[in-house]
Amino acid sequence: MVRYGMLINLNKCIGCDACTVACKVANSTPQGVLWNKVAKTEYGTFPDVTKVFFPRPCMHCDDPACVSVCPTGASHKRADGIVLVDYDRCIGCKYCIAACPYAVRTFVKDLHSNFSGPSPAVVEELGFAKLESGVVQKCTFCYTRVDQGLQPACVQTCPGEARTFGDLADPASDISKQISQLKAVQILPELGTNPSVYYVPPSKGQILFKK
């Protein structure tokens, strides 16, 4: 059984936000909605200060808290481990937002264009037709691309090759080997959600996740 996951090497991420832009274009997210944020973190004491860029997509947990609290079944996990939101079943109760310990979900009240003028803009019409207002949105691992044998947009676009996508259930897969060799870690593993996104810690110091 396939279980898709992602590895993000924080030593390779340069904070260019190409992943954020690629995600927004590929998924036609409305104004103010980012499924793939990159947090900027500084630590240390001058002059020994280090800046780390910390991408935060949906963790696509093996035991997702968002799914267990959803009253309609809108939040659900596919057999391959990808966690999705069915817009037709989402009632906008925001229970999943409250339950998610990684703060990666967004309630979209209205679909506003990213451009001035009529909403949606001509270039957004096709993408917006697949979205709904009054629902919760989040990273989908670009499942429509994955189903076609393609990589998620953020992985394909990353100029530093900081991201690796693949099958966590296959010990011979590239992602599984890298997780083992580079001693990658999960965020907040003590919660028992078993995130499918792993991080290679920065070579200097550590990042403490803050919701």
DSSP secondary structure letters along 39-76? EEEEEEETTEEEEEEEEE-----SS-HHHHH-SSS-EE
The pLDDT value recorded for residue 155 is 98
Q: Is residue 107 part of a domain?
A: yes
CATH number at residue 151: 3.30.70.20
- pLDDT at 123 > cutoff 90: no
Token pair in block for residue 44: 């240390």
Q: Is residue 67 part of a domain?
A: yes
Q: Is residue 193 part of a domain?
A: yes
Q: Is residue 205 part of a domain?
A: no
Residues spanned by the domain of 51: 4-200
Tens-place pLDDT, residues 17-64: 999 999 999 999 999 999 999 999 887 788 888 888 999 999 999 999
Q: Is residue 93 part of a domain?
A: yes
The pLDDT value recorded for residue 211 is 46
Q: Is residue 177 part of a domain?
A: yes
* Cα distance between residue 164 and residue 146, in whole Å: 13
Q: Is residue 161 part of a domain?
A: yes
Q: Is residue 210 part of a domain?
A: no
DSSP 85: E
Confidence of residue 207 (pLDDT cuts 50, 70, 90): low
The pLDDT value recorded for residue 206 is 53
- Integer-rounded Cα radius of gyration of the chain: 17
Domain count along the chain: 1
Token pair in block for residue 193: 């959600």
Tens-place pLDDT, residues 133-190: 999 999 999 999 999 999 999 999 999 999 999 999 999 999 999 999 999 999 999 9
3-state secondary structure of 186: coil
Token pair in block for residue 48: 């020994």
3-state helix, strand and coil shares in percent for the chain, rounded to the nearest 5: 20, 20, 55
Parallel, antiparallel, or unpaired for β 135-137 and 106-108? antiparallel
pTM equals: 0.91
